[in-house]
Amino acid sequence: IQENEYVKMGAYHTIELEPNRQFTLAKKQWDSVVLERIEQACDPAWSADRKGNCSQHDRALERFYEQVVQAIQRHINFEVVKCVLVASPGFVREQFCDYMFQQAVKTDNKLLLENRSKFLQVHSSSGHKYALKEALCDPAVTSRLSDTKAAGEVKALDDFYKMLQHEPDRAFYGLKHVEKANEAMAIDTLLISDELFRHQDVATRARYVKLVDSVRDNMGTVRIFSSLHVSGEQLGQLTGVAAILRFPVAELSDHEDESSSEED
């Protein structure tokens, strides 16, 4: 951008980063969304999901089970995690849980044995990621996950689709459309993908941050979806930003075609 004593105009400088080498990365301006993400990243209460698949032969299946057990012990902090979902088609989930706790008894693994009650077996139609939404919508699961972020995202998206079907004037998506609803102070719940806050254009990122801050100032609820979660992927298909409104705002429907063409 400008010349300094270390780098002349048109030149460039690189620095190598490697394990165990300390470095400082400075950022001049921090917006509310980034600060919230940092706070969540530093909070062990924000946990992740695990999932599995299986193979055909007993030996390969046992190796797979052992890998999953090792991953559970390595990545799950049972002091924080309240529930571990084990989902699969057929009887794979039962077979896996039987294997895991049999091995825990043999090896006197107190970590797994003391937390046995936290494991919840759930049916899913497949072992693919899209089946996560199906598993998370199971009534037995929602009662156990009622206070977690993943369950809240799935419910918010489900509420949006229901509103879109029954009261379309209270369910908007697309940045320009949602911004107009926000100008009318009509947004009850804002659904937005974290991917939008990584947009290459700084001004565009600032626009999304401004929307989030404004909705919160107007006493609306903001749900920031992870683009890595199945619910975040679904929201991404709706441009990454959507809103459930407090009251119908029918006149905004006239701008739908214009909004869609500009965003494309």
**Residue 20 located in a structural domain:** no
Instruction: Evaluate whether 215 touches 190 at the Cβ level (below 8 Å).
Output: yes
Q: Is the dihedral of CA 137, 141, 144, 145 positive or negative?
A: negative
Q: Residues 137, 220: one domain? A: no
Q: Residues 136, 86: one domain? A: yes
CATH number for the domain spanning 79: value is 3.30.420.60
Please report which confidence band the pLDDT of residue 254 belongs to, taking 50, 70 and 90 as the band edges: very low
- Count of H-run helices and E-run strands, the chain: 11, 6
Look up residue 92 and give its two tokens. Answer: 């794979």
- 85 φ, ψ to 5°? -85, 130
Task: Out of 114, 147, 180, pick the residue that ends a domain.
Answer: 147
Residue 50 pLDDT greater than 70, yes or no:
no
Q: How far apart are CA 135 and CA 142, in angstroms?
A: 9
Total number of domains in the chain: 2
**Residue 161 located in a structural domain:** yes
Range among 26-30, 192-196, 228-232 rated most confident: 192-196
DSSP reduced 3-state for 64: helix
Instruction: Evaluate whether 231 touches 225 at the Cβ level (below 8 Å).
Output: yes
Instruction: Evaluate whether 84 touches 119 at the Cβ level (below 8 Å).
Output: yes
Q: Hey, how many other C-beta atoms are within 10 angstroms of the C-beta on 252?
A: 20
Domain limits for position 204 = 150-245
Find residue 222's DSSP bridge partners: 190
pTM over 0.85: no
Task: Out of 125, 147, 169, pick the residue that ends a domain.
Answer: 147
Q: How far apart are CA 180 and CA 183, in angstroms?
A: 5
**Residue 42 located in a structural domain:** no
Query: For the CA atoms of 244, 248, 252, 257, what is the dihedral angle to 10 degrees?
Result: 60
Residue 53 pLDDT greater than 90, yes or no:
no
68-104: pLDDT as tens digits: 999 999 998 988 888 888 988 888 889 999 999 999 9
